Structure 1
Amino acid sequence: MRFNSNFISKAGLALLVVFMATSCQDFLEEDPKNFVAVTNFYKNGDDAVAAVNAIYGYLNSTSTGSTAGVYHSTFWVTAGLASDELLNQNVFSPDLDQLATFSHGPQNAALLEIWAMHYKAITVANIALERIPGIEMEPNLKARLLNEAHFLRGLLYFDMVRMFGSIPLLTKEVEPLTPPVATADEIYAQIITDLKAAEALPVSYPSGDGKGRATQGAAKALLSKVYLTRKDWTNAAQRAKEVIDSNNYALWEDFADVFKLVNRNGKEAIFSVGFGDQGGAISFWEVGQFQVRLLPTELSAEGVENAQGWQVPTLYLYNSFDFNDRRREVTFLTQYTNRSGVVTPIRPYIQKYWDRAAEPKGNGSANDFPLMRYSEVLLIYAEASNELNASAEAHQYLNMVRKRARFDGTTYRTTVPDYESLTQEQMRAAILKERALEFVGEGHRWFDLARTKTLEKLVPLAKPGVVPSTKHYLFPIPQRERDLNPNLPQNGY
């Protein structure tokens, strides 16, 4: 599902003006009169809606002026580069080269952006959670908005604790200027509390309303992923199965349909972040950067604009696909046609987000960034079942994803077989591989390799000579933040 933030009232706009700082401490050093001004807006239900809309706005880019939002590009690019998934070809981005070669350190600008944007969004969520309870408004709407804010704060902290470990756990509007850090266990406890509250969200919203807003299914699905990360297999399986048994989601039969613009907010989307929905003239920061980052410059011969090919898949990833796996032909572009009609082969690039029919020029993209799809819930249930020694269930749900990979748009190919009779260890490897094939460029890979402790094993296969170490299971806390807050530790860098 995607969020359409066309409606942001005066309260939302006020929040956007106030929270344009660049670090966690910057928020805490805002002129107090700004907070007084914001207080004046918390009077009615429209103000409460706008306050929560402002959190959603920080997920894409519509609330940040000329600054990328949380999921605009840097987040998913980092998760791909710091793994066996992506290589960097942008010669003007040494910070991204460092991530791809595991030579990054505390000065890395990409990591600073991720840290700053997450804490900005968390701060806006904290304000909403403190101010909305005092508004006299319709009770059911109030409860829903609060639970949406809980969901979003849980989501943001889930990113941060996995990437940085022990970090400040800010849950109030006003916090100390130099907050102490919480343990990972304490942060996860807050995430679980937030997401359990969000389980009271609606199953769905009326047609034409609530696009992209968090739902009960999104809360349960994300909670299942949190439990999976914590190796709480029982609860991970339980929440994932609740999403499956709800019958509110389903796989598109053809993998090619997953990323078509007409199918945004469709049956496979559990929670997505949308771009390009503002209407009128779309700025560089209001569209997703899938095309500019992933499509090759050679497509200019086909009339495609601003394709830069900054990040490319590793050849190891490309060669991991069965030749007849539908995901291979949908995910990758391996040739282009010039204006004379000559077809020229090129190294693989990622094209899965490009809807040629809807966006033939490819200049920016109105496509969604899929934070969670239904296929991931199936794989979570398979993985948790395998760890609980429920082999039949693990095979069944893994093969549901595998079956879709056989469909070529017309028939089911027999050359992409089901997995059969795998041992528990073989099943672990198979699920990790299927996640790699299913979620290319979706911001999962570093997280998957980190939680399964396979960075050192798998990255050198894709990037010969690049050898991660144990310190790379967390990213360094940005030095700029440590200079501002002496309570921040460092993760071995």
Structure 2
Amino acid sequence: MKTRQFISCTLIISALLLGTASCSKFLEEDPKNVVGITNYYKTEQDAISAVNSIYAYLNSISTGSTAGVYHSSFWITQGLSSDEMLNNQLAAPALDQLATFTYGPQNSTLQEIWVMHYKTITIANIAISRIPGITMNAALQSRLLGEARFLRGLMYFNLVRMFGKVPLVLLEKEPLTPQAATVDAIYNQIHQDLDAAEAVLPASYDPGNGRGRATKGAATALHAKVYLTQKNWAKAAEKAKAVIDSKSYDLWEDFASVFKLSSRGGKEAVFSVGFGDANGAIIFWEVGQFLVRLLPPQLSEEGVQNAQGWQIPTQQLYNQYDIDDRRRAVTFITEIHKANGTVETIRPYIQKYWDRAAEPKGNESSNDFPVIRYADVLLMYAEAENELDQPLEAHKYINMVRKRARFDGTVYRNTVPDYTGLSKGDFRTAVLKERRLELAAEGHRWFDLVRTNTLETLVPQAKPGVTPAARNYLFPVPQTERDLNPNLPQNDY
């Protein structure tokens, strides 16, 4: 049987700065390549570098035009293919298609998402296969394997939600044309990976020596989201509550503090992907593209460089916020202060990731991208408890998030009142809206609409004339992948 393996230059050279360099391609099995990899996995530093290389694929640029998983395409797709964002980028037909639900299997953004997820999975598979054979500190070895399994579980969770049946590649070498696994089989593997990660990952790392690495809390929080997606409310509540009861996380009092550079890796960050300066963390050379894509180009008049305004919020999203909701002022920018002293009102753009005081030029943000925040955990727990007919718990935890929205940086305003006495159905509507307001532009919205079967009903309210259909609950498998592997099934499109 012909096999192939994913060979990353990062893994067959001495440990470059946290394993950031990445030149990679699919190769048919070649004894010279096998020898190279075999010779590499010898030392404890090799094991560390191998796992760091997995993190590198979350944020860095690889060869060619393909970017890291959280660099841009993944979270943009979730925003555009929902009621959250519109495409404002010229000459970007793939993004226009996502925003209007006219995409097909030739969509280049979906192809990029598929490729980068499987590249990351393959690097994780190699690490999981090779690290057990290295003579090294046993506790560190166990932790590194836990990190690799957490990251593999995260990648498969993204893929199964987006594409449904996909190949379940778990070994260093796999057949050239693997069969697609069932959705149940993929979820079973995700659970196994996250169980393994939860069992060995630490609650935290030494200060300055672990920001960005997966923790036990990150694995447990991700597990809660997996169970929530599967509508296993009891397990979702159990996992979310375990994160809450760990006392490892808390909300910043001010919503604006969540996105300050000084808050990176802070008490609300359950798992984030870092961009920019290393400073001892698992972050790499690519600057924060999520920032320059979102800021309005009009900011150039204020001396802000490289703002693009490529993806913009729907007006309906902006209108959902109470006028004094702290999240509205932090999430959006609607005014440009010109050099002549005049103020220009503009349509809303997203600015939440911009720490203007720390990075006034706004062109090379070192901010982290939040994959899971503590507020997300609180809302997951509230949602699960509502489904379990525990209204007191559900109301308590959603109101923690709403209370924070009342704080304007100095005092609590008379806005965003606590929910009281909502029916089960009304609470479902409330928590879905709360997730929208709290987590805007963080890569959750399409998943939330699909998970709650509200894609067809809510998107047209924000995008008149755009009406998703049942087929849009999965994305089409990229045609390029099906050309290479005829065993891949196709979803409706």
Normalised by the size of structure 1, how large is the TM-score?
0.94
Supply the AA of the counterpart residue of 2:342: V
- Listed one character per residue, the Cα deviations across residues 57-78 of structure 1 (whole Å, up to 9, x for unaligned) are 1111166686410100111100
**Partner SS for 1:250:** coil
**Cα displacement (A) at 1:33:** 2.1
Provide the C-alpha distance between the structure 1 equivalents of 2:31 and 2:11, rounded to a whole number of angstroms.
23
Instruction: Map 1:229-268; keep pairs closer than 5 Å.
Output: 229-268=229-268
**Cα displacement (A) at 1:459:** 0.3
- Alignment of 1:20 onto 2:19: no
- Alignment of 1:108 onto 2:80: no
What's 1:303 paired with?
Answer: 303
What's 2:138 paired with?
Answer: 139
Provide the C-alpha distance between the structure 2 equivalents of 1:18 and 1:399, rounded to a whole number of angstroms.
44
What's 1:388 paired with?
Answer: 388
- Listed one character per residue, the Cα deviations across residues 23-52 of structure 1 (whole Å, up to 9, x for unaligned) are xxx35x364422321110111111000110
- Alignment of 1:327 onto 2:327: yes
Provide the C-alpha distance between the structure 1 equivalents of 2:20 and 2:335, rounded to a whole number of angstroms.
43
Contact 1:19 1:120 in 2 (8 A): no
Contact 2:178 2:485 in 1 (8 A): yes
Provide the C-alpha distance between the structure 2 equivalents of 1:33 and 1:9, rounded to a whole number of angstroms.
11
Supply the AA of the counterpart residue of 1:129: I
Supply the AA of the counterpart residue of 1:48: A
Q: Whose RCO is larger (CA < 8 A, sep 6+)?
A: 1
What's 1:165 paired with?
Answer: 164
- RMSD of aligned Cα (Å): 1.9
- Alignment of 1:73 onto 2:72: yes
Of the structure 1 ranges 66-75 and 445-454, higher mean CA displacement relative to structure 2 is found in 66-75
What's 1:54 paired with?
Answer: 53
Percent of aligned positions with the same letter in both sequences? 65
**Cα displacement (A) at 1:292:** 1.9
Provide the C-alpha distance between the structure 1 equivalents of 2:113 and 2:65, rounded to a whole number of angstroms.
15
Instruction: Map 1:99-248; keep pairs closer than 5 Å.
Output: 99-199=98-198, 200-248=200-248
Supply the AA of the counterpart residue of 1:191: I
Provide the C-alpha distance between the structure 1 equivalents of 2:380 and 2:414, rounded to a whole number of angstroms.
25
Provide the C-alpha distance between the structure 1 equivalents of 2:425 and 2:365, rounded to a whole number of angstroms.
40
Contact 1:58 1:64 in 2 (8 A): no
Change (3 A) 1:491 1:9: closer
Change (3 A) 1:388 1:208: same
Change (3 A) 1:16 1:63: farther
Supply the AA of the counterpart residue of 1:428: R
Provide the C-alpha distance between the structure 1 equivalents of 2:296 and 2:22, rounded to a whole number of angstroms.
39
**Cα displacement (A) at 1:10:** 3.6
Supply the AA of the counterpart residue of 2:71: H
Provide the C-alpha distance between the structure 2 equivalents of 1:65 and 1:17, rounded to a whole number of angstroms.
13
Provide the C-alpha distance between the structure 2 equivalents of 1:100 and 1:334, rounded to a whole number of angstroms.
22
Instruction: Map 1:401-420; keep pairs closer than 5 Å.
Output: 401-420=401-420
**Partner SS for 2:270:** strand
What's 1:370 paired with?
Answer: 370
Provide the C-alpha distance between the structure 2 equivalents of 1:238 and 1:482, rounded to a whole number of angstroms.
39
Contact 1:15 1:124 in 2 (8 A): no
Provide the C-alpha distance between the structure 2 equivalents of 1:239 and 1:94, rounded to a whole number of angstroms.
40
**Partner SS for 2:345:** strand
Contact 2:12 2:40 in 1 (8 A): no
What's 1:4 paired with?
Answer: none
Provide the C-alpha distance between the structure 2 equivalents of 1:81 and 1:311, rounded to a whole number of angstroms.
8
Instruction: Map 1:283-298; keep pairs closer than 5 Å.
Output: 286-298=286-298
- Listed one character per residue, the Cα deviations across residues 282-337 of structure 1 (whole Å, up to 9, x for unaligned) are xx971111232111111000000011100100001000111111000000000101
What's 1:492 paired with?
Answer: 492
**Partner SS for 1:435:** helix
Provide the C-alpha distance between the structure 2 equivalents of 1:173 and 1:220, rounded to a whole number of angstroms.
26
Contact 1:45 1:138 in 2 (8 A): yes
**Cα displacement (A) at 1:414:** 1.6
Number of aligned positions between the proteins: 479
- Alignment of 1:353 onto 2:353: yes
- Alignment of 1:317 onto 2:317: yes
**Partner SS for 1:349:** strand
- Listed one character per residue, the Cα deviations across residues 65-118 of structure 1 (whole Å, up to 9, x for unaligned) are 864101001111000000000000111111000000000000000000000000
Supply the AA of the counterpart residue of 1:45: E
Normalised by the size of structure 2, how large is the TM-score?
0.94
Of the structure 1 ranges 201-210 and 54-63, higher mean CA displacement relative to structure 2 is found in 54-63
- Alignment of 1:427 onto 2:431: no
**Cα displacement (A) at 1:442:** 0.3
**Partner SS for 1:90:** coil
**Partner SS for 2:468:** coil
Provide the C-alpha distance between the structure 1 equivalents of 2:243 and 2:266, rounded to a whole number of angstroms.
15
Contact 1:18 1:34 in 2 (8 A): no
- Listed one character per residue, the Cα deviations across residues 423-461 of structure 1 (whole Å, up to 9, x for unaligned) are 001000000000000011100000000111110000000
**Partner SS for 1:416:** coil
Provide the C-alpha distance between the structure 2 equivalents of 1:402 and 1:112, rounded to a whole number of angstroms.
38
**Partner SS for 1:286:** coil
Supply the AA of the counterpart residue of 1:272: S
**Partner SS for 1:148:** helix
What's 1:453 paired with?
Answer: 453
**Partner SS for 1:371:** strand
Contact 1:67 1:285 in 2 (8 A): no
